[in-house]
Amino acid sequence: MRELRCATQRYDWGIVGSGLCRALGAANAARNGANVDDAFMDGPHAELWIGTHPNGMSVLSDTGVDLRAHVAENQVQCLGARVIDRFGDGGRCDVPFLMKILSVAKALSVQAHPDKKLAKELHARDPKNYRDDNHKPEMALCVSERFEAMSGFASAREVWENARAHEELRRAASDEEAWSDLERALAAGKGDDDDEVKGAFKRVFTALMTAEKATVEHELALMRTRVAAKESRDAKESLFLRLCAQYPGDVGAFCAFVLNYVTITPGQAIVMAANEPHAYLSGDCVEVMATSDNVVRAGLTPKFRDVRVLCDMLTYTLGPPEILTGDVIDACTRRYVPPFEEFVLDVVACASGSTHVAAARDGPSVWIVHRGASLEPIDCASVDGGATTAKRYADRQLEIMRARRMNEREASVVVDAERAEELARFAAAERLGEPLREDERVLTSPGEGSHGAYSSEIERVQAGEEETWSARLERARRNVGEEELVPRRAPRARRGA
């Protein structure tokens, strides 16, 4: 486990004077010897990046080596065979996910992230604006009192009703034929999954986002004046006025009536899949995504916009988004599993004074410590050369996976057989009184063979430490007086983890 020095992004939409990004960024900088003065604390703090992306590279606190270079030189130890096999390219692999802390004071752009195929095309065509060839599906977990976002398209009927209530929206999206086709499909009882509904909706949205600037500004001004004069307003009307104030004359303000307006609370998360429109509005969140910084923007931003690409790339999935609440893993842990494979997110909350032992992972993990917690690594392969053995095991496993085109499980069977054969040779030699030299070992640790009760060095070390850990956990239970909040046994790590 290595401590990281992380990069802070100071975008205009970040929170000034407070926010989790500012607090964690300052704490991280101070731990790494930076001068956390007024100049650091002033101004907006938008994002804290934890990962290997060049736009916000983390570095090792103790050596100053950037994380990407460290991972490149220590592939198996940092990533594990499974991750290398799944995400590696030409024998090299990067951390497959990027984690961020976001503190949002005003709306981010109306945007979407391309899927893998489109990401490669955009990168090849325009590497200046699309510097990555990877997709960027993401998940945002609320860690403030509430977190607001626009996420995905509202249902076709809701958008149709919004246009009836606000003629300015319909005039701005001036494709009357598309509006008529949408009305006819809805009148025929067709739902959001119907191709005719989706096709008409796409034409309406494209007409809106590509409308002439003068038309947009005129209709926004009329609607803003009218809505502001109302004695009472619904949530989307209030959001519309807020967006108009933050980005005057920007067509993205109309998206308040086209996208879902979502408010989530602590413990809830939303997922933004590839090719789905969204815009964060306010609050703090932990955001995790596939490692990429590709963004296709169309509104609510002074940055580069690629409106036609965005309108063409979207799936036009209609209806409210799913709100994730996580799965209970144990007394302290809730797990959030998105519908893509680059990452899962665990939230660990322990009672004051208690201890939680997290199971070993077969891939890279990033931990963010918040509110009085601390981390202590348990190196289950650090005794009697066990660390070297674990590395050799993983290296051999990866070698077999590549040479024989096997998956991780199949290669593990082969390495286990080789390891058992080596163990038997050393045991037989010892029984004959002619022990082999220790430097002849490849997949076993010093001393193995004469003590063959355990199937791996890691299991032997864990068994030896079991009594120590049990006593430590028991003390923690007594301290808090709540036995059920702390696991009774240290979990077993997989060999080679």
| 160 and 248 together in one domain | yes
- Tens digits of residue pLDDT in 452-461: 333 444 444 4
**Structure tokens given for 230:** 């109302």
- Pick 30 or 430 by higher pLDDT: 30
Give residue 377's pLDDT.
63
CA distance 248 to 252: 10
Virtual torsion, Cα 385, 388, 389, 394, nearest 10 deg: 160
Domain that holds residue 45: 4-106
Average pLDDT (89-109) is 91
Catalytic residues: 297
| For range 64-93, the mean pLDDT | 87
**CA–CA dist 347, 10 (Å, integer):** 26
Closest CA to 290 of 269, 306, 303, 273: 273
Domain assignment present for residue 390? The answer is: no
97 shares its domain with 170:
no
Same domain, 99 and 163: no
Highest mean pLDDT (candidates 107-121, 449-463, 474-488): 107-121
Query: How far apart, in Å, are the Cα atoms of 453 and each of 8, 152, 193, 381?
Result: 50, 56, 59, 17
pLDDT tens, position by position, 365-390: 998 887 766 666 655 444 444 556 66
Residue 50 lies in a domain: yes
Q: How many domains does the chain have?
A: 2
Average pLDDT over residues 436-462: 57
Give mean pLDDT, residues 93-110.
95
Q: Which CATH number belongs to the domain containing residue 10 in this structure?
A: 2.60.120.10
Residue 464 domain-assigned? Answer: no
In a domain, 389, yes or no: no
Beta-carbon neighbour count of residue 164 at 10 Å?
A: 11
Q: What local confidence, expressed as pLDDT, does residue 481 receive?
A: 54
Query: What is the tens place of the pLDDT at every residue in 283-339?
Result: 999 999 999 999 999 999 999 999 999 999 999 999 999 999 999 988 888 999 999
CA–CA separation, 367 and 390 (whole Å): 23
**Would residue 44 count as lying in a domain?**
yes
237 domain residue, yes or no: yes
Q: Of 222, 257, 292, which closes a domain?
A: 257
| 96 and 187 housed in the same domain | no
Q: pTM for this structure?
A: 0.75
- Out of 257, 289, 310, pick the residue that ends a domain: 257
Stretch 3-20: mean pLDDT: 91
Question: Residue 396 half-sphere exposure, CB side, CA atoms within 13 Å?
Answer: 19
CATH number at residue 225: 1.10.441.10
- Judged against a pLDDT cut of 50, whether residue 451 lies above it is answered with no
352: Cβ–Cβ under 8 A, 6 or more apart, which residues? 372, 480
In a domain, 281, yes or no: no
User: pLDDT category, 489, cuts 50, 70, 90?
Assistant: very low
Which tens digits make up the pLDDT trace of 385-420? Answer: 455 666 677 778 888 888 888 887 788 888 888 988
Asked if residue 305 belongs to a domain, the reply is no
Whether residues 252 and 163 share a domain: the answer is: yes
Whether residues 19 and 90 share a domain: the answer is yes
Mean pLDDT for the chain overall: 85
End position of a domain, from candidates 66, 89, 106:
106
Same domain, 35 and 101: yes
Percent of the chain with pLDDT over 90: 57
- Looking at the fold, whether 94 and 170 belong to one and the same domain comes out as no
**Does 483 have pLDDT greater than 90?**
no
Helix (H) or strand (E) holding 263: strand 259-264
Q: Is the pLDDT of residue 466 over 60?
A: no
Rounded average pLDDT over 106-116: 97
